[in-house]
Amino acid sequence: MAAHIVEKAHARVGFLGNPSDGYFGKTISFLLQNFSATVRLEPSDTLRFVPSLEHDPQEFLSLEALAVRARTEGYYGGIRLLMAICARFHQYCSEKHINLPPKGNFTLAYDTNIPRQAGLSGSSAIICATLSCLMRFYEVEDRIPWDDRPSLILSAEADLGITAGLQDRVIQVYGGLVYMDFEREHLAKTGNGIYTPLDPALLPALQLIYARNPSDSGKVHSTVKKRWLEGDLGIRTAMEEVASIAEEGREALEKGDHKAIAELMNRNFDLRRQMFGDEALGAMNIDMVMTARSVGAAAKFTGSGGAVVAFCPQGSDQVKRLSEACDKKGFTMAPIQVAPSNVQGDNVVAMGEVCKSFVDRDTGA
C-alpha cells in the first residue's frame, strides 16, 4: 500500500499591476511563506474526505454561534474544494489518455492557516496542494505539464462558482516571484500568457496587514468589468495604467529603486479606488491602506481586499510606527516572507488554454 502523502501550498500576494490580469494587463506576484494550506492523503478502503473541525464545523454551541459563523465565514468549508479538484483531475487524465494505475482508494484531509476572505487565495492553495497529492499518489507528475496545472486549479474553482483572477494559481504552482504578461494580441494569437520568474531577493522588506474579521469587506457589486467590456474610456485608460505599473515595477526592482516601488504601490491602489469606488472596496479595507499611509508607508491590496502589502522605505523605525498604528486599529501586521520557487532554472512559462478560456469568458467571445 502506498505511503502517506503530505503536500503544502502557500498564500499569494499580488504585488503590482493587479487587477489588470483580468483585463489583458500585467502583474507581479509572489508566494507568501507566512501562510499555507496542507493536504494529507492516505490509502483507504473507500474514497473519503475528512471535514476540518475548524473549517467544516458540523456542531455549534448555540444558534447564535451558527449565525455568527455564517455571517463572518459563510456556509462553505474546504471539502467542496477537495472534491472539485478530484473530479477535474480524473477528467483531465481521461481526456489526455493518462492511465491511472490501480492504486486503490484514499482519504483526503486538509488544514489551512490562511486567513479567510483576506485576498490571499486561500481556496486556490487548498486545491493546489490537493492536486500535488493526487499527482504523487498516482505517480503522474511527469505526465501533467507545469503549464497545465494552473488551468486544472482554475477549472475546479470555476465549477464551484469561485471568482478567480489569472495570476493567483500561476504563482501558487510556480512559487517565488513572477512577472506576468497578459497582452491581448499574444493571447489572441497563441492562447497563452507569458510568465517570467524574477529573483525574490529583488523585493524590499515588506509587511502584511490584515483583519482578523474581514466581514466589513466591500459588499457592493462592482460594475468595472461591465464598463470595461462596454469600452468605457475612463476604465480602459486606468486599467492600462495599472498594467504599466507592473512593467515599471519590474524595472524598479531590477534597479533597486525603492522610492519608485513605493510610488508605484500607492498609485496602484489609487487607481483601483478610482475605478471601483469606496463602497465596493469596503471601509475596513480602505482603512488598512490609510493606516499604513498615516506613517508614510506605501500600501496596496494583496488581492481584491481583506489584506494589504505595505512597504516602509524609511526602515525599522517606520516599521515600528506602522505596527503601533495597526495595533490601535485592531489590525494584524507581520513581516512578509517570500516562499521559494517551485521550479528550477530560467523559465518563461506559457499558461496555455487557461488564459484563452478565461479571456473568452470575460470578453463574451
pLDDT digits (tens, 9 = 90+) for 145-163: 887 888 889 889 888 888 7
What pLDDT score does 193 carry? 67
The percentage of the chain sitting over the pLDDT mark of 70, rounded to a whole number, equals 88
Q: Which of 71-85, 187-201, 295-309, 330-344 has the lowest mean pLDDT?
A: 187-201
Answer for the pair 195, 179: CB distance below 8 angstroms, yes or no.
yes
> Other C-beta atoms within 10 Å of 71: how many?
10
pLDDT of residue 351: 39
Q: For the chain, give every domain's residue range.
A: 5-198+339-363, 204-335
pLDDT band at 214 (very low <50, low <70, confident <90, very high): low
pLDDT at 195: 82
Residue 319 parent element (H or E): helix 316-329
What is the pTM for the complete model shown? 0.85
CATH of 204-335, one of 3.30.300.30, 3.30.1240.10, 3.30.70.890, 3.40.50.720: 3.30.70.890
Instruction: Evaluate if residue 190 carries a pLDDT over 60.
Output: no
Give the per-residue pLDDT at 66: 81
- Exactly one of 111, 148, 159, 168 is catalytic; which is it? 168
pLDDT at 212: 75
Q: Would you list the DSSP string of 292-308?
A: HHTTT-EEEESSSSSEE
pLDDT > 60? residue 359: no
Residues 6+ apart with CB under 8 A from 246: 16, 17, 20, 25, 26, 27, 28, 179, 180
CATH class of the domain defined by 5-198+339-363? alpha beta
Q: Is pLDDT larger for residue 146 or for residue 49?
A: 49
- pLDDT-derived band at 8, boundaries 50, 70, 90: very high
Tell me the mean pLDDT in the region 330-335.
Answer: 95
Q: What is the mean pLDDT of residues 168-191?
A: 81
Active site (annotated) includes residue 216 = no
In CATH terms, are 5-198+339-363 and 204-335 the same topology?
no
Q: How much is the average pLDDT of 240-259?
A: 97
Strand partners, 301: 308
**Alpha-carbon distance 339 to 176, whole Å?**
6
